[in-house]
Structure 1
Amino acid sequence: MQWKTIDFYALDAEDKLKEFRSQFHLPRNPDGTEKVYLTGNSLGLQPIKAKQYLLEELDDWANLGVDGHTHARRPWMHYHELFTAELAYLTGAEPNEVVAMNTLTANLHLLMASFYRPTKFRYKILCEAKAFPSDYYALDSHARFHGYTDAVLEIPADKHTGILKHETILEYIDKYADEATLLLMGGVNYYTGQVFDMEEITTFARERGYTVGWDLAHAVGNIPLKLHEWGVDFAAWCSYKYLNGGPGAVAGIFVHQRHHNRLLPRFEGWWGHCKDTRFQMPHNFQPIPTAEAWQLSNPPIFSLTPLLASLPMFRQAGWEALRNKSRKLTTLLARGIEEINDTHSSGIRILTPYSNEHSGCQVSVVFEGIGRQVFDRLTEAGIVTDWRHPDVIRMAPVPLYNSFSDIQKTLETIESAVIEQQK
């Protein structure tokens, strides 16, 4: 591939998903032109319809007061149920296995209260090296809560590539099968963008007696998932990245239906109580026989509302089209950067393994010795990327709103920045 010979505008013209871009607000430069936005892995863009839906909820609150719980155009009492079908589609779950609730780390804590059940001999927790810090804090604090200070074991990444080899993950799962009880990893690593083989890892670990959970913050809305079919025990995700729910948007959980009627310990709240008797205010908790049993409080309406605008787009676009465009965007970006490195011998290295199975939207790139200068040059050119100390730039072309022309401008700017640094 020679990226300079590619007609990016022709690719845009042929793009089956091009109309979705117009359904989002694109940040703009001072001169009014659209920025190139490549940080959907950190915060997704605002859907155009989000404002309309929020104004409708504000109007219902103004006009109805407390009666909005039952008489709003979308009654607040059961508001979280508006998202069930779409979340099931996005995660490959049965509708009774998912619920929109809380925030990601809060949900991980609630789920571990049920699924991290250490014993004297099996109390350790496996996670990936360089997991997102909040995940590690949650795992370590739960272990310490149970009295274990050495419980969290990190599966090491390759020293040369920074990538976790699949065989190393399986090796550690097998090695610690007599000591570890829980495997909890990110489905897509936040730093490298590596997609893990969740299906095989889940099966391999469960065959060895592990409970298996996944943090899907960088996976949901990015890659197709089949949590029910894969037999995952539980999972949690946020909604402000690829799901475009807005800053602090309500997150979600998955609990496999085989656990719904088990007498599991959990931290209980009244929105997890059986709906038929919830407002009789009984003293004893009766869990809803679905993932909803893990809810604590009634849903925060305004933090959920933007998802009404965002989530239906995924089904409208379809996973096949989303995945195909995502692969094209990512491959063009990654290979173009490698060509720039080959041409200018600039010490650039792609961290992300960008084959079909092992990456989603994100491309993480090491710009050795010039990372900050390249990042600043991209920013000046109106290209929004993500900087990670000391020399990594993360870029995530999202198929719902990024264009092939975005990739062309990014590559041109990177090459210009590299040449400037070599003068």
Structure 2
Amino acid sequence: MYQNNLTFAKQCDQEDPLAHFRNQFLLPSDNKGNPLIYLCGNSLGLQPLQTQDYITAELKDWAKHGVEGHTDAKHPWLPYHEFLTNSMAKIVGAKPNEVVVMNTLTTNLHLMMVSFYQPTKTKYKIVVESDAFPSDKYAMESQLKFHGHDPKEGLILWQPREGEDLCRFQDLETIMESQGDKIALLMIGSTNYYSGQHFPLKKITELGHKYKCMVGFDLAHGAGNIQPNLHEVGADFAVWCTYKYLNSGPGSLGGCFVHERHANNEKLNRFAGWWGHNKDTRFNMRHEFDPLSGAEGWQLSNPPILSMAAIRSSLDVFEKAGFENIRNKSEKLTGYLEFLLDELDNNNINIITPRNKEERGCQLSIQLKNADKAFHTKLTKAGVISDWREPDVIRVAPAPLYNSFEDVFEFVQRLKKVL
């Protein structure tokens, strides 16, 4: 299927129906103007060309209209988050009323845990994969403390077996069988940031619900990368950021999913704010809190329009490309990277990301035996932008909207030289 030569890589790019989208992004170069091979979309996505125009349009409307821009701007600011909803819902496989763009990821995680982590004296524990992104673990530990529980007792780590790199679903089943009556929440990263392993979301959700636990997912490395099908999966909630695969800019807003079965559940606790209040009476400041139905009801404050303009820009690119097409290319592109790494036939290289394309997105995590960050520094000097994670892993993520097969081929050539 694949061939280890530049001619083949260029042929793949010529036949790629999404190849022209590369020209819609600003690609980094070094101080001398030489193009860099950018394989770090799993950390920060590249800027779409049109993003500057989208943001400039809002700045012009602010200058022209002042406060009246809330209603008179070309894209009025009052309902601005609604311009993002349908596209975002497609990307995460949800119904529009289940999705809202708001806040940032860890803020949203805390807000969701206020509602969906409801511990009792006996059923209070939280399950998370052992190598979850640190911010998630910090949030969960602080929630346990807030509710009067010892984090060391209350946080259960789902971890790989001795000598392995990936988590096995059977081991999660064992945890639930032994402690399910004490577990209140399964909070799992849908696609692990370190290993790149994509977990079986539906099986995890069904397992959690079997033991009457709430189930949530962190899609920071999933949204825009894999299709989580959140509504069908049946998760209670999910949170994600938009600055990685969704290319919305550093520190941009996150997204939130609340399954429709919770849309009007008044029994759920929530930390409320005025933007989650009934739109018809929001500006009549004398009313008691009347939450909007669905995910919108968890909003706190009026949204930052400039950040949302950048998100709208990127989502418009996704709409044009079609997420199914993006995913198809992603599987081929990452498959080619895997093939070329195997062709190196180097015993110092170990791909810890699953080989099964259904169990990963575009990222491959490359473990380098007897290497340290100095190796990654050499690779960076060779013109490759990737990501180093201690103690010995380089994360490489060919993003299908702007990376090419030639990028992947050239990366492996430079890696080979550094090796």
- TM-score norm. by structure 1 comes to 0.95
Q: Does 1:279 align with 2:272?
A: no
CA deviations 1:350-381 (Å, max 9, x no partner) are 11013111110111011112343442232122
Q: Does 1:311 align with 2:309?
A: no
The answer for the alignment partner of 2:273 in structure 1 is 269
The answer for the alignment partner of 1:121 in structure 2 is 122
CA distance in 2 between counterparts of 1:349 and 1:323 reads 24
Q: RMSD of aligned C-alpha atoms?
A: 1.3
CA distance in 1 between counterparts of 2:179 and 2:7 reads 49
CA distance in 2 between counterparts of 1:42 and 1:176 reads 35
The answer for the alignment partner of 1:353 in structure 2 is 354
The answer for the alignment partner of 2:161 in structure 1 is 158
The one-letter code sitting in structure 2 at the alignment partner of 1:213 is G
Offset of residue 172 of structure 1: 1.7
Moved more, 211-220 or 322-331: 322-331
CA distance in 1 between counterparts of 2:62 and 2:316 reads 24
Offset of residue 2 of structure 1: 5.4
Moved more, 288-297 or 319-328: 319-328
CA distance in 1 between counterparts of 2:32 and 2:414 reads 18
The SS at the match of 2:283 is helix
Offset of residue 239 of structure 1: 0.5
Aligned match for 1:337, one of 341, 344, 360:
341
Offset of residue 121 of structure 1: 1.3
Moved more, 387-396 or 375-384: 375-384
Where do 5+ consecutive residues of structure 1 fail to align?
Answer: 419-423
CA distance in 2 between counterparts of 1:82 and 1:16 reads 27
CA distance in 2 between counterparts of 1:4 and 1:376 reads 26
The answer for the alignment partner of 2:16 in structure 1 is 15
Offset of residue 160 of structure 1: 1.7
| C-alpha contact 2:349 2:369 (8 A) present in aligned 1 | yes
Offset of residue 228 of structure 1: 0.7
The SS at the match of 1:278 is coil
Offset of residue 13 of structure 1: 0.5
The one-letter code sitting in structure 2 at the alignment partner of 1:214 is F
CA deviations 1:269-315 (Å, max 9, x no partner) are 00000011111112411100121110000011111111111112223
| C-alpha contact 1:50 1:306 (8 A) present in aligned 2 | yes
Moved more, 323-332 or 117-126: 323-332
The SS at the match of 1:296 is coil
CA distance in 1 between counterparts of 2:380 and 2:188 reads 32
The one-letter code sitting in structure 1 at the alignment partner of 2:356 is S
The one-letter code sitting in structure 2 at the alignment partner of 1:384 is I
The SS at the match of 1:274 is coil
CA distance in 1 between counterparts of 2:313 and 2:343 reads 39
Which runs of 4 or more aligned residues in structure 1 lie more than 6 Å from their structure 2 counterparts after TM superposition?
Answer: none
CA deviations 1:184-227 (Å, max 9, x no partner) are 01000000000000011111211221100000000000001211
CA distance in 2 between counterparts of 1:296 and 1:353 reads 39
The one-letter code sitting in structure 1 at the alignment partner of 2:387 is D
CA distance in 2 between counterparts of 1:64 and 1:12 reads 45
Offset of residue 103 of structure 1: 0.2
CA deviations 1:153-173 (Å, max 9, x no partner) are 111113222110121122223
Offset of residue 38 of structure 1: 0.4
Identity %: 48
The answer for the alignment partner of 2:306 in structure 1 is 302
Where do 5+ consecutive residues of structure 2 fail to align?
Answer: none
The answer for the alignment partner of 1:421 in structure 2 is none
